[in-house]
Amino acid sequence: MADTANGEPPASTMELFNRIAAQGEFVRALKAKKASKDEVDAAVELLLSLKASYKTAVGEDYKADCPPGNPAPGGDCGPDATEPEEDFVDPWTVQTSSAKGIDYDKLIVRFGSSKINKELIDRIERATGQRPHRFLRRGIFFSHRLDMNQVLDAYENKKPFYLYTGRGPSSEAMHVGHLIPFIFTKWLQDVFNVPLVIQMTDDEKYLWKDLTLDQAYGYAVENAKDIIACGFDIKKTFIFSDLDYMGMSSGFYRNVVKIQKHVTFNQAKGIFGFTDSDCIGKISFPAIQAAPSFSNSFPQIFKDRADIQCLIPCAIDQDPYFRMTRDVAPRIGYPKPALLHSTFFPALQGAQTKMSASDPNSSIFLTDSAKEIKTKVNKYAFSGGRDTIEEHRQLGGNCDVDVSFMYLTFFLEDDDRLEQIKQDYTSGAMLTGELKKVLIEVLQPLIAEHQARRQEITDEIVKEFMTPRKLTFDFQ
């Protein structure tokens, strides 16, 4: 939910705006998958009810991309404005018809977040004394909730904050895209020297997927090995399985119940698109993902302190959970968590397609050999090149849709080299095969080094990371 400070609209109207956007996307998804008429009618009825409530509260009809009191710069907020239908984003589905991928500027407006600008990046650099991570420099982490400035205020005044991120273990295999939040979170942990909690939502995957509880928990343990291999400091990192930790921590479960009491079923349906046919486990799960945002969910780390700010790096599709969390937080006496949102990692076949653990050719997996990486990039990576060499030399390639270039923006550290590659490919001086060769040369050692680190992660090390315990930090 959006903030009310700095002249922003009241939380209730912004919440309505966001709920309408989410419900509109849900209706389109139901129609796309040819859901039953009763299911579609019920979703449409809720959408119309939300729009009627919005008109009563704001005094004008709902228009997409036109938040109350904050029209989109250069956007059409006139009477003929229509809802965009090309992108669909929720915590479980990301769809776009554009080869360039999701329109993140529109998504910022739709979700009511704020763009990470140069001023905020410069402030992070001043606070840490470190060059901003390439994910910040290149706009891969592109959006935030406004309390990010409060986190920096606290840090500059020697006050504590902690990091929270997570992983939904839906399979044993993780791909390179899954590393993005953990690579960035590792950097944040290092430069700010703060504790970190990592939630493994094995309960969620059991509820949403065709898995047994043992399978879901087993995937959590295996995924934890890949996460640990990113280099997290065991003295400052607690990784936990929901299936385990809910029974160990009275503080965690107490917060889950507090959150559950303050979110109605209608709100959950509006935010997450739940229907009457969803199991009650799904409806109650958002409170479980929200609970780690509050420090007293971890009494072994923070004792009974409930006032320590939380910073959550995550992909923007997880934002609905934390809009809900930020709405509930002041009502139960806790600080709102701050968020840093990342863009989505594209599938090899293009930014408009979806990566899937069931499709080994949709991405580079952390178990792939050097030969498999080379084959996948050469065979499947969507190209922004032209049909012939002659045409490519004359017109150049399109970096906006070329997956090999997109992957390099994530993994090639050297800014100057990346810019030179962009110029060469755009001008036609570099061919698609040459660009793919550069990517292969970047990915092969990156994956090989990760695999070597992961081989060193034993079950005992995982158990130590997942044991509730005191962490090391310098809080006053």
pLDDT tens-digit series, residues 217-236: 999 999 999 999 999 999 99
Task: Read off the CATH number of the domain in which 414 is found.
Answer: 1.10.240.10
Which of 219, 261, 100, 277 has the alpha carbon at shortest distance from 269?
Answer: 277
pLDDT at residue number 77: 57
Distances (CA, A) of 423 to 331, 371, 385: 52, 29, 13
- Whether 292 and 164 have beta carbons less than 8 Å apart is answered as yes
Domain identity same for 259 and 335: yes
Please give the residue range of the domain that contains residue 434. Answer: 370-456
Domain total in the chain: 3
**Is residue 168 domain-shared with residue 292, that is, in the same domain?**
yes
pLDDT band at 207 (very low <50, low <70, confident <90, very high): very high
> How far does the chain reach from its first CA to its final CA, in angstroms?
30
- Kindly list the distances between the CA atom of residue 316 and the CA atoms of 141, 181, 250, 342, 424, in Å, as whole numbers in the listed order: 9, 11, 30, 6, 32
Do 380 and 344 belong to one domain? no
Is the domain of 344 the same as that of 375?
no
Q: Does residue 4 fall inside a structural domain?
A: no
Q: Could you tell me if residue 230 is inside a domain?
A: yes
**340 in the same domain as 412:** no
Q: Are residues 345 and 374 in the same domain?
A: no
Domain co-membership, 382 together with 342:
no
Highest mean pLDDT (candidates 86-100, 317-331, 432-446): 432-446
Statement to judge: residues 447 and 316 lie in one domain:
no
Q: Give the residue carrying structure tokens 């763009």.
A: 115
pLDDT digits (tens, 9 = 90+) for 293-334: 999 999 999 988 999 999 999 998 899 999 999 999 999 999
Kindly tell me if the per-residue pLDDT of 356 is higher than 70. no
Same domain, 39 and 136: no
Q: How confident is the model at residue 160 (pLDDT cuts 50, 70, 90)?
A: confident
Residue 220 to residue 245: CA distance in whole angstroms: 13
SS3 132: coil
Does one domain contain both 448 and 379? yes
Taking only Cα atoms into account, the Rg of the chain, rounded to an integer number of angstroms, comes to: 22
Alpha carbon distance 243, 164 (integer Å): 18
Mean pLDDT of the chain: 87
184 and 150 part of one domain: yes
| Encoded amino acid at 207, one letter | L
Say which CATH number the domain at 32 has: 1.10.287.10
Say if strands 161-167 and 141-144 run parallel, antiparallel, or are unpaired: unpaired
- Assess if residue 363 is contained within a domain: no
Can you give the pTM of this predicted structure?
0.81
Q: Measured at the alpha carbon of residue 137, what is the angle toward residues 132 and 231, in degrees to the nearest 5?
A: 50
CATH number, position 326 = 3.40.50.620
Question: Is residue 297 domain-shared with residue 172, that is, in the same domain?
Answer: yes
